[in-house]
Amino acid sequence: QLAYKCRWYGRNYIEVDRWFPSSKRCSNCGYIAEKMPLNIREWDCPDCGTHHDRDINASKNILAAGLAVSVCRATIRPE
C-alpha cells in the first residue's frame, strides 16, 4: 500500500534491506555493535561515546540509507 501511495503522489519509495543493521549501527560514527538484544532500548557507542535511543538511532540510519540510495542510486547492504 505504501509503494502505491508513493507512486500516486509522485514520491520515491525506497525499501531498505531487511537485514540492514539500523538499530545496531551508530548514526554518529558508523560503528556496528555485534549483538544487541531487543530488550536493550538505549546504548552508548564504544567508539565515539554517543548515547542512543534504539528507535531514534534506527530511524536516523534508515533515513540516511534512503537518502544515499536516492542520491547515488546505490544499494544498501548490511556490513
Determine how many CB atoms are found less than 10 A away from the CB of residue 56: 11
Residue 79 lies in a domain: no
Residue 16: predicted pLDDT: 85
**The dihedral formed by the CA atoms of 31, 37, 43 and 47, expressed in degrees to the nearest 10:** -20
Provide the domain limits for residue 32: 17-72
Residue 67 lies in a domain: yes
Residue 77 lies in a domain: no
Number of domains in the chain: 1
Residue 7 lies in a domain: no
Residue 68: predicted pLDDT: 82
pTM as predicted: 0.78
Residue 72: predicted pLDDT: 62
In this predicted model, what pLDDT tens digit does every residue of 10-30 receive, in sequence order? 988 888 888 999 999 999 999
Residue 74: predicted pLDDT: 55
Residue 4 lies in a domain: no
In the predicted model, residues of the chain with pLDDT beneath 50 are 78
